[in-house]
Amino acid sequence: MVAVPILRPYQSEGTASILAAWQTVRNVLYVLPTGAGKTTTFSDILRNHVGAACVIAHRQELVGQISTSLAMFGVPHKIIGPRPVIKLILELQRITLGRHFYDPNAQIAVAGVDTLVRRAASLEQWRKQVSLWVQDEAHHLLRMNKWGTAAEMFPNARGLGVTATPERADGRGLGRHADGVFDTMIVGPTMRELMNDGYLADYRIFAPPGDLDLTTVRDSSDGDFNKDDVRTAVRRSHIIGDVVGHYLRIAPGQLGVTFASDVETAGDIADKYNAAGVPAAMVNAKTPGADRARLIADFRRGDLKQLVNVDLFGEGFDVPGIETVSMARPTQSYAVYGQQFGRALRPLPGKQHGTIIDHVGNVTRHRLPDGVKNWTLDRRERGAKRKRDPDAIPVTNCTACFRAYEATTATCPYCGHKPEPSGRSSPQQVDGDLCELSQEALKALRGELVKVDGRPRVPSQFMGTAAGKNIENMWRERQEAQHFLRQSIALWAGHRRAEGMADPEIYRRFYFKFGTDILSAQSFGRGEAEDLNARIEGDIQ
């Protein structure tokens, strides 16, 4: 008898929040980091659901994992998919669980999205009875695509979408008011909170130098890099050899997944691994299901040390044994990046951390994934037009030890290496670190403060006139705005000092968060000062 999983506290809270939201809205989007148990959460909801329901996924591995999760919760269900896929899923469940809960007459179903849409007519009577649909990896779901078509097949149902990354590279919004179907979003704990509580492993990031040149790579219609251009750029670089060499140097013997840009490159990387004595296999979407299952089983046992793939093992790939992720596929999609990163974070007995080896600048491009994210159901700008996230601190790479770290420190926190800035004549050259500025630059900035703090400069011809009075009033208003701004800056910096930060780190963090350095901010005019003061007060609160 298989023991029914017990929900973690945050999963129980998520379930309660979803049920409460359904009292007032129809479709709910639930956000939970990769590896935190989204499938477990909605399996528990389905266990207690009365009536017909359908869980929708877009790949046979995910259909199989959802079916197995429902089996662990004792939920009888049917599988809407090709017969060979059903047979393979049931065979794997017999091996892992000793039995299955497959019932072709059950009211609850797990369906592959393509098969579901294709069989819409034959499933019409059952579809009308369905009162709940669930979509895995719901950042795909837009009204006008196949996932939206699948949701519309159930006119009498409320909906639940789950995802770790409710953000699309093309900027489209998942809300009903935008391009999707969701009425509200419930966000669970952050990745960092789950790490602190032991539910996810922490990470180490290495970003070895490389020669990948993306300057001629175009954007595709979905907002990511053009795949053909990326393939060409990767083939011109030395990534294939770098991936294997740095794995052997940084994480030899660990179970790893490598994400490649295309099938040909994935095959070459797998060949390089094998030639270097690292048992590896290339797996792609065209690899037969039985072969994929066999290779994954070999990987779980440790007979294979590396699985090289093209996006196949990003979304929902549930193999707890992964210790290392090697990124050889650049992406502009935060969803792709976050899913790949998260593969290495499932905890294991004795596992201190997951290792990320980034050969393509994804960490620098998207920054660290474990902070608070300002998710939204709205549309957003894409590419260069996208607004900067004030809570996302830039990441830099140490040229000595190759570790990646937040650019709030001028010295690598891992090896102590301190790179020399390109110049010291402006705050931009030192990331706002006033301690790094030249004396000439500091003198110039302080000179601007003296102008603000001095007396108003009224031209002699306006002395005693209405125009002169107006100049004096504007000057006093600026000084008043600066008074409140400087109080807020001092309070904000005081909080950072209480957290143990030294002044150089405080200066850098302020610069990255608010887009200006502390001294320059104190020379702002009234309007800029009031706007910045409001942002700082909001952050303090």
For residues 61 and 444, give the distance between their C-alpha atoms in angstroms, rounded to a whole number: 61
For residues 338 and 330, give the distance between their C-alpha atoms in angstroms, rounded to a whole number: 12
3-state SS class at 518: helix
Where do the domains of the chain lie, and which CATH numbers do they carry?
Answer: 9-189 (3.40.50.300), 194-371 (3.40.50.300), 427-540 (no CATH)
Which residues, 6 or more positions from 368, have their beta carbon under 8 angstroms from its beta carbon?
205, 392, 393, 395, 406
Let me know: does 327 contact 210? Beta carbons within 8 Å: no
Tokens of 311: 């996006």
For the chain, give the longest Cα–Cα distance: 95
**What is the radius of gyration, based on Cα positions, of the chain?**
27
pLDDT at residue number 461: 62
pLDDT at residue number 421: 85
- How many CB atoms within 10 Å of residue 455? 7
For residues 92 and 100, give the distance between their C-alpha atoms in angstroms, rounded to a whole number: 9
Backbone angles phi, psi at 428, to 5 degrees: -65, -30
For residues 215 and 218, give the distance between their C-alpha atoms in angstroms, rounded to a whole number: 8
pLDDT at residue number 134: 98
Let me know: does 116 contact 80? Beta carbons within 8 Å: yes
pLDDT at residue number 384: 45
Backbone angles phi, psi at 256, to 5 degrees: -135, 155
pLDDT at residue number 314: 65
Q: In Å, how far are 2, 25, 37 from 237, measured between CA atoms?
A: 50, 51, 38
Residue 132 burial by CB count (10 A; 0-12/13-18/19+): exposed, middle or buried?
Answer: buried
pLDDT tens-digit profile, the chain (541 residues) = 567 889 999 999 999 999 999 999 999 999 999 989 999 999 999 999 999 999 999 888 889 999 999 999 999 999 999 998 899 899 888 888 888 899 999 999 999 999 999 999 999 999 999 999 999 999 999 999 999 999 999 999 999 999 999 999 999 999 999 999 999 999 999 999 999 999 999 999 999 988 999 999 999 988 899 999 999 999 999 999 999 999 999 999 999 999 999 999 999 999 999 999 999 999 988 888 788 888 988 998 999 999 999 877 766 666 768 999 999 999 999 989 998 999 999 998 888 899 999 999 999 999 888 877 889 999 987 654 455 565 678 899 998 999 998 888 889 999 999 988 888 888 888 898 888 888 988 888 888 887 777 776 666 666 767 776 776 778 888 888 888 999 999 999 999 999 888 899 999 999 998 999 998 999 898 999 999 999 999 888 8
pLDDT at residue number 390: 59
Backbone angles phi, psi at 356, to 5 degrees: -110, 125
Of 324, 342, 284, nearest to 308 (Cα)? Answer: 284
Which residues, 6 or more positions from 31, have their beta carbon under 8 angstroms from its beta carbon?
162, 163, 164, 166, 185, 186, 187, 188, 375
- Taking 3-state DSSP, the helix, strand and coil percentages for the chain, each rounded to the nearest 5, stand at 45, 15, 45
